[in-house]
Amino acid sequence: MDRLSIISAVLFLSGAPSYALPIEETAEDSARVKDIEEVVIVYSPKETGKLRQAPIAVSLFDRTALDDQHTASLKELSAFVPNFYMPDYGSSLTSAAYIRGIGSRINTPAVGLYVDNVGYADKSAYDIELLDVERVDVLRGPQATLYGRNAMGGLLRVFTRNPFHYQGTDIRLGTSVKDKGYQLSASHYQKTSHRMAYALSGFYKHSEGFFENATRHETVGGNETGGGRIRVIYLPAEAWKLDFSTDYSYREDRGYPYRYLGVTEGEESRPDRIGRILYNRPSFYRRSLL
């Protein structure tokens, strides 16, 4: 081939369009390459979709279920939630929660508590009144991926009523004869505009107790608690939400019904005091939460 023929062949090949021969796809083809013009990363909050469809063991209680079961605290949910137990020690000083046997009575909790997505870090704050609550979720199993190290056993999530979804005033009154107790609560929900709404609520409970202290001639085991909540929600734009919430509660547990159970080895026998409450000093526990 002469030099002119070689140059003509090179020019022909360089100017010719390129074609890709079709390749027959088989079942073994697992790698696909696609050109993507733009990648958009969308932030996803912790609560998305329907919780009942999530692959997790969870118990949900809406407001109707809580009212039907007359549930006023998280401790009372122990009777309705599988593998959940929150013991009642007679005081709010220690309110440990256990899920599937995992919990902690001292040190940091192993079951987390969130109220309107705000975490409670101290177990002494777990015994709260379920005031103007919309829903309670009990998530069983480790939740540390989304909720931190103190959710190894599970998670308790409490959501209060949203004033954008419900408007009105609720007033509740109750009384009991045996412990000379009474309780009252009031809540008001108002939407001032399509961008702003607020909720105000307060409660008070009083109980004299069931047990008699023979030394001080007074009833022990009672309690007194009260508090309130203010919540304001503002929507400055379509994709923005400002949610302000302030919660305060006060509680006083007056005395524990400690009884003398009898003589132990090396002590003086006092059969007249067995089974009686006889301590001669006032005993109480006070707690304020903000």
- List, as one string, the DSSP characters of 87-146: ---SSSS----EETTEE-SSSS-SEEEEETTEEE--GGG-S-B--SEEEEEEEES--HHH
Side chain identity at residue 57, one-letter code: A
The dihedral through the CA atoms of 77, 80, 84, 85 has a sign that is positive
Whether 171 contacts 201, CB under 8 Å:
no
Is pLDDT larger for residue 89 or for residue 150?
150
Tell me the pTM: 0.71
Mean of pLDDT values over 195-217: 89
pLDDT digits (tens, 9 = 90+) for 160-175: 999 999 999 999 999 9
How much is the pLDDT for 270? 75
Q: What percent of the chain has pLDDT over 90?
A: 26
Whether 111 contacts 97, CB under 8 Å:
yes
**Quick check: 10 pLDDT over 60?**
no
Strand-pairing partners, residue 118, are: 115
- In Å, what is the CA distance from 262 to each residue of 5, 269, 272? 120, 7, 9
Structure tokens at 229: 């909540």
Determine the Cα–Cα distance for residues 205 and 3; give it in Å rounded to an integer.
Answer: 107
H or E stretch covering 11:
helix 3-15
Q: To which residue do tokens 């009884």 refer?
A: 259
Please give the DSSP secondary-structure letter assigned to residue 21. P
Is pLDDT larger for residue 34 or for residue 118?
118
